[in-house]
A = this chain, B = another copy of it.
Amino acid sequence: MKKYFKSVSDKIKLPVFFPDATRGVIKTLDTKDIESAKTPGILVNTYHLYRELGEEAIQNHHGIKGFMRWKGAVISDSGGFQVMTLAKTNHGGKVTDEGATFWQEGGEILLTPEKSIEFQMILRSDMVVVLDDFTQPQATYEQARESVERTVLWAKRSKETFSKLCQKKKIPEIKRPYILGVVHGGDYLDLRQECTQRLVEIGFDGLGYGGWPIMADGQFNYDVAKIIAQNAPNNYFLYGLGVGKPHEIVNCVKLGYSIFDCVLPTRDARHKRLYIYNANSIDDIDLNQKKFYSYYTPDKMIYRKKDVPISHACDCLLCQNYSRAYLAHLFKIKELTAMRLSTIHNLRFYSILMEKLQTDSFKKT
């Protein structure tokens, strides 16, 4: 199994969680805040940055890290999620073998596998992700089959573009970013297996669990996670794209997954949902407990007028400095600072989670 994720500046311990800095910013935070939450890496969105920022500003700053002044690792997703949510739905565009067309105010944008890789190389991410044809939730077998075929087709072209660009830019093997393939096939295990094998034939540094990991009954689909893990070479990264809740991450780590990203900690924070460990100190946290964490809603809880911290098992800006009463007040008056402090807290919750998972007892045997 992989032991580290290398970025230009550092080797990052695995497993690692990358929160979403979609447009080059984690909502309500500045880059120093991300550092203060001890977050080793972030995920940026190729489609949104391509559309809203363009190449000039990024190139003037020598990549997204310079633009954000971010010293940690960066993964750029491919825009595949937007293919599903924007181009495939609500008449927002169309998808052909050439690529995905998005109908925007002021014209249409064609995102091809080649363009996605090219822009990600301009972003100078540490890991680029191939454009994928996202299998819709509850897809029929035929629909899932079609998305697998197109995903594999696009993966080939992405890999070719990637190799050409690395040669053209004379990037030595050791300094190339990682390139990730994305496995599709919905809930059909045979399609997932086939997709995994065909992507491995093309050759990548890792594979992502693509599509919705949540089944119609609301349960996480661990069978798909397993079939990908079983068919991936041992030296591949396994990446739970968009995963997930803390206990889902714990379970996926046990299956060999080591990279995760998810909007949950940041989005939940902005909606007054804070994660707290059921423990009295960071040392006391026990991920083997059945219910090792809880949600905390600032204005609904007792002690909301008291001078006590949100959590004793946290060392974030919020928990080290402010009281439950102050946070409840900030949310009550709809002050943005409440969202920022809560976001930093939830990110620190996730970075503590990953630190705990880096101990040997949770590694896949």
Which residues of A are at the interface with B, using a C-beta cutoff of 8 A?
Answer: 23-25, 27-32, 52-53, 56-57, 60-61, 66-69, 305-307, 317, 321-323, 325-326, 329-330, 332-333, 335-337, 339-341
Given A32-B321, A67-B326, A69-B322, A307 and B60 contact (CB-CB distance below 8 Å): yes
Asked whether A325 lies within 8 Å of B25 as measured between CB atoms, the reply is no
Asked whether B32 lies within 8 Å of A69 as measured between CB atoms, the reply is no
| Interchain residue pairs with CB less than 8 A apart (24) | A23-B333, A23-B335, A24-B329, A25-B335, A27-B336, A27-B337, A28-B336, A30-B317, A31-B321, A31-B322, A52-B333, A57-B329, A60-B305, A60-B307, A60-B325, A61-B323, A61-B325, A61-B326, A66-B307, A67-B323, A67-B325, A67-B326, A69-B321, A340-B340
Which of A23, A27, A30 neighbours the largest number of chain B CB atoms within 10 Å of its CB?
A30
The closest CB in chain B to the CB of A52 belongs to: B333
Q: Which 4 A-B pairs have the closest CB atoms?
A: A57-B305, A57-B325, A336-B336, A61-B307
A322, B57: Cα distance in complex, Å: 13
Asked whether B329 lies within 8 Å of A336 as measured between CB atoms, the reply is no
The closest CB in chain B to the CB of A325 belongs to: B57
**A333 / chain B contacts, CB cutoff of 8 Å:** 23, 25, 52
Given A60-B305, A317-B32, A27 and B335 contact (CB-CB distance below 8 Å): yes
Excluding A25-B333, A30-B341, A32-B321, 11 further A-B contacts by CB distance (< 8 Å) are A23-B329, A23-B335, A25-B330, A28-B335, A28-B336, A30-B322, A57-B305, A61-B326, A67-B323, A68-B326, A336-B340
A156 to chain B, nearest CB (A): 34
A93, B336: Cα distance in complex, Å: 30
- The copy count of this chain in the complex is 2
**A69 / chain B contacts, CB cutoff of 8 Å:** 321-322, 326
Which of A68, A306, A307 neighbours the largest number of chain B CB atoms within 10 Å of its CB?
A307
Given A25-B337, A27-B335, A60-B306, A329 and B53 contact (CB-CB distance below 8 Å): yes
Given A67-B323, A321-B69, A30 and B337 contact (CB-CB distance below 8 Å): yes
**A67 / chain B contacts, CB cutoff of 8 Å:** 323, 325-326, 329
The closest CB in chain B to the CB of A26 belongs to: B337
**A329 / chain B contacts, CB cutoff of 8 Å:** 23-24, 52-53, 57, 67
**A25 / chain B contacts, CB cutoff of 8 Å:** 330, 333, 335, 337
A61 to chain B, nearest CB (A): 5
**A57 / chain B contacts, CB cutoff of 8 Å:** 305, 325, 329
A361, B64: Cα distance in complex, Å: 46
Asked whether B337 lies within 8 Å of A28 as measured between CB atoms, the reply is yes
A52 to chain B, nearest CB (A): 6
The closest CB in chain B to the CB of A53 belongs to: B329
A335, B23: Cα distance in complex, Å: 10
Contact of A339 among B29, B66, B326, B336 (CB under 8 A): B336
A78, B365: Cα distance in complex, Å: 67
**A337 / chain B contacts, CB cutoff of 8 Å:** 25, 27-30
**A332 / chain B contacts, CB cutoff of 8 Å:** 52
A63 to chain B, nearest CB (A): 11
**A305 / chain B contacts, CB cutoff of 8 Å:** 56-57, 60
A333, B49: Cα distance in complex, Å: 11
A253, B15: Cα distance in complex, Å: 58
**A29 / chain B contacts, CB cutoff of 8 Å:** 337
A72 to chain B, nearest CB (A): 15
